[in-house]
Amino acid sequence: HTKQSGRNGYTFFTPAMQASTSRRLRLLQDLRRAIARDELLLHYQPKFPASGKPVIGAEALLRWQHPELGLLGPDTFIPIAERSGLILAIGDWVLDRACAQLRAWHDAGHPGWSMAVNLSPLQFASPALVETVRETLRRHALDPAHLTLEVTETTAMKDVEDSLQRLNTLTAMGVKIAIDDFGTGYSSLLYLKRMPASELKIDRAFVRDLEHNPEDAAIVSSIVALGRSLQLQVVAEGVETEAQRAFLDQLGCDLLQGYHLGRPMDAETFLHRAG
């Protein structure tokens, strides 16, 4: 078994290892105990206006400090959590911890910061979601407008009528909705128009070669135009260079995230860097 340390500093597996059923079973067994053993943690990636500072908030990104395998990224274990249903308990934990952190940052002198939390398909479909969100915000005395829930385009467009109803309930509560990884799914513009979202997050696949690939630039400016006309903020993810930042700003993107501006980091570092 070979193990490498990836660019994010966490462990990833070769395809052969990912395909291994025994490894998956092992991870699933370990994951069942991960919350109780306090092995899950959140990193926070800052979100900036395209024109520059100051930071407007963070996206919470889940990690697992596995006792033997090291720091694992979500792509290693979220699919397992999703298939087993464990994601519901894990998702509740993430929401609670992210809201607790936001409360702490507000109290530490940054009352304007917002927090974005990713929802998996199963969490989004769960009948308990709306009450869990309401109760968690209440518990941490947060204004719902400071919480953004990120659902991927594919998740949001599945079972569209149910999805719209759920999004409307959350929006009525005051929570914001971001459509994540936009451009990689199969959006119906008809549904997008009815969707009460406040953000479109352009998938980083379109950002990677932006300055050298005219098609990518055309796609990004189309998404910006679409966002404008639907009154959505457009966020670009995966910004790795100053040239990309400048280009995205020029194309009219509102907000940016990426290694160039800030990597996902622990809460203390986040406060230290931004505060």
Burial of 56 (0-12, 13-18, 19+ CB in 10 A): middle
Please identify which residue in 180, 199, 216, 254 interacts with Mg ion, judged by CB under 5 A: 180
Binding site partner of 73, from Mg ion, ligand C2E, none, Cβ cut-off 5-8 A by kind = ligand C2E
| Residue list 25-54, contact with ligand C2E (CB under 6 A) | 45
Which tokens hold the place of 206?
A: 């379109």
Give the helix/strand (H/E) hosting 93. Answer: helix 87-107
Please identify which residue in 39, 135, 159, 240 interacts with ligand C2E, judged by CB under 6 A: 240
Where does this chain touch ligand C2E (CB under 6 A) — which range of 133-141, 157-165, 232-240, 267-275? 232-240
In the complex, least distance from residue 7 CB atom to ligand C2E, rounded to whole angstroms: 7
Cα-Cα-Cα-Cα torsion 122, 128, 132, 133, nearest 10 degrees, comes to 60
Identity of the residue, 106 or 155, whose beta carbon is nearer to ligand C2E in the bound complex: 155
| Residue list 225-244, contact with Mg ion (CB under 5 A) | 237
* Whole-angstrom distance, CA of residue 6 vs CA of residue 73: 10
Helices then strands, counting H and E runs in the chain, come out as 12, 11
Identify the CA nearest to 101 among candidates 160, 31, 44, 158: 44
Identity of the residue, 30 or 167, whose beta carbon is nearer to Mg ion in the bound complex: 167
Question: Do the beta carbons of residue 182 and residue 201 sit within 8 Å?
Answer: yes
Please identify which residue in 55, 72, 78, 248 interacts with ligand C2E, judged by CB under 6 A: 78
| Residue list 90-149, contact with ligand C2E (CB under 6 A) | 91, 94, 118-120
Identity of the residue, 57 or 73, whose beta carbon is nearer to ligand C2E in the bound complex: 73
The DSSP string of 249-270 is HHHT--EE-BTTTB--B-HHHH
> Phi, psi at residue 106, to the nearest 5°?
-60, -45
Contact footprint for Mg ion (CB under 5 A): 118, 150, 180-181, 237
Residues that bind ligand C2E (CB under 6 A): 45, 60-62, 73-75, 78, 91, 94, 118-120, 150, 180-181, 204, 237-240, 257-259, 264
